[in-house]
Amino acid sequence: MLQKRIIVCLDVRDGKTTKGIKFKGNVDIGDPVQMAEDYYKQGVDELVFYDITASSEKRGIMIDIVRKVAEKIFIPFSVGGGIRTLSDMKQVILAGAEKVSVNSSAVTNPLIISEGAAHFGKQCIVVGMDVEADFSKPSGYGIVINGGRTKVDLDALEWAKKIEKLGAGEIVLNSIDADGTKDGYELKLTRMISESVGIPVVASGGAGNSMHLADVFQKGKADAALIASMVHIDGYTIGGIKEFLNKENISVRI
Amino acid sequence: MNIGIIDYDAGNLKSVEIALNFLGGDYFVSSDPEKLIKSDKLIFPGVGEAYSSMEILRSRSLDNLLKEYFKKGNPILGICLGCQIILESSEERNTKCLGLVPGVSKVFSHDMGLKIPHMGWNQVQSTKEHYIFKDIPNNSSFYFVHSYYPEPDNSDSTIALTDYGISFSSAFSVANLVAVQFHPEKSGPHGLKMLDNFIKQGV
């Protein structure tokens, strides 16, 4: 039976892991390569690195980190942030990442999804969606881009279906409303999207305790759950979370 | 005991190389059949699409190399697409494959209520003793990412099964060839152990 995945997300700025709340204010919390190795040893299933470096001149720092991570951890990981072109994708894949994640750039240029899938295989292409409640939209949810700052005229459910059709291998579904609250994932949204597409959906935003992960797997029907501050700051361990999920009869890799 | 890793632009070539390097394996990466034929063992990696991958193999005469190498009887490890392409054909764009082992690669169906690709960690239940599983607990999880699955004609060749809607051969072995659908290079310590078993076999 396919197991539910726990994915740790590391936001990287100028070569350091950083943590921000609702995209406002960031603090550096450690070295991404060292942190990746620690989580690997704890049994994390996958890692995601988001390059939130503001300037494109510093992109080389991220590629260097990807290369170092690939030499130390032997589980899949993806890289996102600032990826706009096939050549951006190629750079991170050649450095050793399994997957690349596009978000805002896919909204402004959806063809990057199909082009990426054709070049690197659909399993390489992850599309991140930043979603917020919007009652003017048919599904009740709309899409925001540029780290939650810009609203665009897209219905979240329609966009998710289009992402699948364009050939993405996976969706990372981030609830802007839940992000940073530690009140739990947006279950209704996660379930709606996960049950409407035929590709895996990774839930993101809102995890504050292990029960939140159990809920998003059982009630939200997520295939994987993204966590960050729970393990970066609040002292949870991957082993501890997995033990809890196991007791809740959720199949995870122990 | 040197290991040749076949370079045919497969997506996981780099990861396989990094893992072998980490394990201290004596390996080289090449697309030159003359060099690869002389290697003691061969790794046939793979992430990609069957049809275009077969075209690349043919254009570099690597299809013939694999057939010849298989006859020679030295150990071969096929990974993911490398495990599918050694069969006779694939439902992926109706591709004629190498035919080292009788069988086909079939597509998973959304009708089974499955998310496709089959992506993530799944348990591998070994059904037969094989050196590749040495010191790896049975039913350990390995990392999978694929939309097609191998179905060798002779079910006796199956050495491990995995459930995803159906139960499929996630590892099979014929003569000195062993093929795995999952990615040992991305399956943590158990995956590294499996690669190490391949490196150390017969040494």
Q: Which two tokens stand for residue A113?
A: 């999804």
Show the domain range for B109.
3-200
Identity of the residue numbered A167? G
Residue A162: inside a domain: yes
Q: CA-CA distance, A144 to A125, in Å (whole number)? A: 20
Q: Does pLDDT of A228 surpass 70?
A: yes
CB contact (8 A) between residue A170 and residue B121: no
Rounded to the nearest angstrom, the minimum Cα separation between B12 and chain A is: 8
- Cβ–Cβ contact A164 with B under 8 A: no
Show the domain range for A222.
5-247
ipTM confidence score: 0.93
Chain A residues in contact with B21 by the CB 8 A cut-off are 71
Chain B residues in contact with A2 by the CB 8 A cut-off are 118, 120-122, 144, 164
Q: CA-CA distance, B59 to A175, in Å (whole number)? A: 47
How many domains is chain A built from?
1
What's the Rg (C-alpha) of chain B? 15
CB contact (8 A) between residue A3 and residue B123: yes
How many domains is chain B built from?
1
CATH number of residue B140's parent domain:
3.40.50.880
Closest CB to A198 among B12, B48, B116? B116
Residue A236: inside a domain: yes
Q: pLDDT 10s digit of each residue in chain B, 203 long?
A: 899 999 988 778 889 999 999 999 999 999 999 999 999 999 999 877 888 899 999 999 999 999 999 999 999 999 999 999 999 999 998 999 999 999 999 999 888 889 999 999 999 999 999 999 999 999 999 999 999 999 999 999 999 999 999 999 999 999 999 999 999 999 999 999 999 999 999 88
Q: CA-CA distance, A117 to A159, in Å (whole number)? A: 17
Among A105, A228, A237, A107, residue whose Cα is nearest residue A178: A228
What is the pLDDT confidence band of residue A61, given thresholds at 50, 70 and 90?
Answer: confident
CATH number of residue A142's parent domain:
3.20.20.70
The answer to whether the bond into B102 is cis (omega within 30° of 0) is: no
Q: Which of residues 131-160 of A touch B (CB under 8 A)?
A: none
Q: CA-CA distance, B181 to B122, in Å (whole number)? A: 11
Closest CB to B122 among A1, A43, A122? A1
Q: Which two tokens stand for residue A93?
A: 């894949």
Closest CB to B118 among A2, A121, A253? A2
Inter-chain contacts counted by CB atoms under 8 A, chains A and B: 89
What is the pLDDT confidence band of residue A21, given thresholds at 50, 70 and 90?
Answer: low
Chain A residues in contact with B48 by the CB 8 A cut-off are 121
pLDDT confidence of residue B12: 80
Edge to edge, what strands does the sheet with B95-96 contain?
Answer: B95-96, B89-90, B103-107, B148-152
CB atoms within 10 A of CB B109: 11
| H-helix segments, chain A | 32-42, 59-72, 86-94, 104-108, 111-120, 156-165, 187-196, 210-218, 229-232, 238-247
Residue that the structure tokens 């690997």 belong to: A40
Beta-strand runs (E) in chain B: 3-6, 27-30, 41-44, 76-79, 89-90, 95-96, 103-107, 118-123, 125-126, 141-146, 148-152, 158-164, 166-174, 177-180
